[in-house]
Homo-oligomer: A and B are copies of this chain.
């Protein structure tokens, strides 16, 4: 741990973020432009996100597969909008095995094209539908401005691709995945994301509809945490994905795609961190409980360490991820260190606790309230599990209250400007218009985040144009 103080997130959120990522050992800088090394403490958060999603995907009948890292350059030209979106971001392999390649390969920015071609070969009949595939993989996009986890030249993600017999089935599946994303974000990451529909100008090129989950970060800016696209028949036409229907007619499939990346690790950091450092939601915390032994003499040490080891074993048996900090540092130093890393529960155990059969617990979730309490050692595993559940619920409640306090209804462009200036999401009636969106973005820096799926009844006047409309939208500055 470096010696300087952590920047205050209230004063300079960006400096705070960059500092905490490295100081909490989530990542390390790498010698590769725009790429980080994900260290174990960051990797385990990603593993948690990954297994939470994978379980949910499989319950929907999605199967995992793996497609090649490299894509023939010509594939990227098949789909005009695709090229336009990706070509400035491509890493190109021109030499292989010591020789210049006749046709270069690009490192996948997504596997869309190669999966599209595979679908066209694999799908024959309506009996094959729905066809549900997901891939966990690394992708590369040559981004100019990068930030750890949020935007890196290489990142890890899952990309799902599905084919359906008709529009409604594709649409229903697109929304099922959106529910999976939201459920993971809310239950596991304790981030009360808002499910919504992207505006026409923000939707994925070639999609009918793009749905998003938007999270509010600690600086009140928005982070798009995952997207689910209903691609209609557009991609099926480009890649010739057809099936024979029940009456033996050839039809184009209706496809979807959806992705969520290591950016979500950045969301966990930014949604919950505070002036002391990270706050890890228990369900994703690599270490849920840290045990700090406290002793002065060697005799005390022997008794305390024996009791600490028994405690760790009990917690492990109860499937709590517990860690003993046996380092040769003062307890105060250790307390700060684990607070900085955001471990949800710290247990302190000294000679008097050994004698009295108790342990002191401090929780990390409630900023400003350390909430120390003394627990009896009996049934400690069950007690700690309850405490972790309570912390998980409290973190979600705190994040939800923060979000709700910072979504401000606006009835005019002036009101929106004020919200954007003081921070938060502006919510107002919005008559869809790409031109007006662009204007707002240029003048305020805020973008159309989504039309929340949860809409009020009735209609109102667009806060910008005054036109009558039936939908409200959220605008905010975003990552």
Contacts and interface: CB of A to CB of B under 8 A. Distances in A.
A156 interface: yes
Interface stretch (A66-74, A381-389, A399-407): A66-74
* Secondary structure call for the A interface: mixed
B43 A65 contact: yes
Contacts of A105: 32, 91
Contacts of A31: 72, 75, 114, 117
A458 interface: no
Interface in A17-32: 28, 30-32
Contacts of A63: 40, 43-44
A142 interface: yes
B71 A32 contact: yes
This chain's copy number in the assembly: 2
B43 A118 contact: no
Contact of A97 (B35, B72, B89, B328): B89
A64 interface: yes
A39 interface: yes
B97 A66 contact: no
A127 interface: yes
Contacts of A30: 67-68, 114
A98 interface: yes
A87 B94 CA distance: 15
Contacts of A133: 40
A121 B22 CA distance: 13
Interface in A88-113: 88-98, 104-105, 107
A93 B96 contact: no
Contacts of A140: 69-70
For A38, A92, A133, A328, which residue has the most chain B Cβ atoms within 10 angstroms?
A92
A70 B114 contact: no
Contacts of A127: 327-328
12 contacts: A30-B67, A30-B114, A32-B70, A32-B71, A37-B65, A40-B63, A40-B64, A43-B64, A88-B97, A88-B98, A91-B97, A96-B142
Report the 10 A-B pairs with minimum CB-CB distance, sorted nearest first: A97-B142, A40-B63, A92-B95, A35-B68, A38-B66, A32-B68, A96-B142, A94-B94, A91-B93, A91-B96
Given A31-B72, A32-B114, A43-B64, 8 more contacts: A28-B121, A31-B114, A33-B96, A66-B156, A88-B97, A89-B97, A91-B93, A137-B138
Interface of A: 28, 30-33, 35-40, 43-44, 46-47, 63-72, 75, 87-98, 104-105, 107, 114, 117-118, 121-122, 127, 133, 137-138, 140, 142, 144, 154, 156, 327-328
